[in-house]
């Protein structure tokens, strides 16, 4: 995994994330709990490692659809779980 650079300004930080994918820096990030404020909805994190070629293809397809790679993976997982179980949630 890549190392996160140190940023001198907010503009540098914004420019960096406009051109980089945060999933390349997951080992540098700290896991946090986040409350969405949606009653009855609890989110949990799942961290998986993918082959580099598979991850690149996921990013390409997600970009074609205007989604993040994690958003597309979550959507596909939800669709498959619905298929397998016949129910949502």
Q: What is the pLDDT of residues 30-46, one digit of tens each?
A: 777 666 566 776 778 88
In the chain, domain spans: 49-89
Average pLDDT over residues 13-37: 80
Degrees to nearest 5, angle at CA 41 with 36 and 42: 75
Q: What is the pLDDT of residues 35-84, one digit of tens each?
A: 656 677 677 888 899 999 999 999 999 999 988 898 899 999 989 999 99
Task: Report the C-alpha gap between 59 and 8 in whole angstroms.
Answer: 29
pLDDT at 88 over 80: no
C-alpha distances in angstroms, 8 versus 4, 13, 25, 56, 83?
A: 13, 8, 19, 30, 48
Burial status of residue 67 (CB atoms within 10 A of its CB: 0-12, 13-18, 19 or more):
middle
């Amino acid at each position: 995994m890549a190392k996160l650079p140190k940023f001198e300004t907010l503009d540098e930080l914004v420019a960096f994330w406009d051109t980089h994918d945060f999933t390349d820096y997951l080992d540098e990030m700290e896991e946090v709990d986040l409350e969405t404020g949606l009653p009855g909805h609890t989110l949990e994190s799942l961290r998986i490692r993918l082959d580099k070629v598979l991850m690149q293809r996921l990013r390409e397809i997600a970009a074609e659809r205007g989604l993040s790679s994690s958003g597309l993976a979550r959507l596909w997982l939800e669709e498959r779980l619905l298929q397998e179980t016949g129910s949502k949630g």
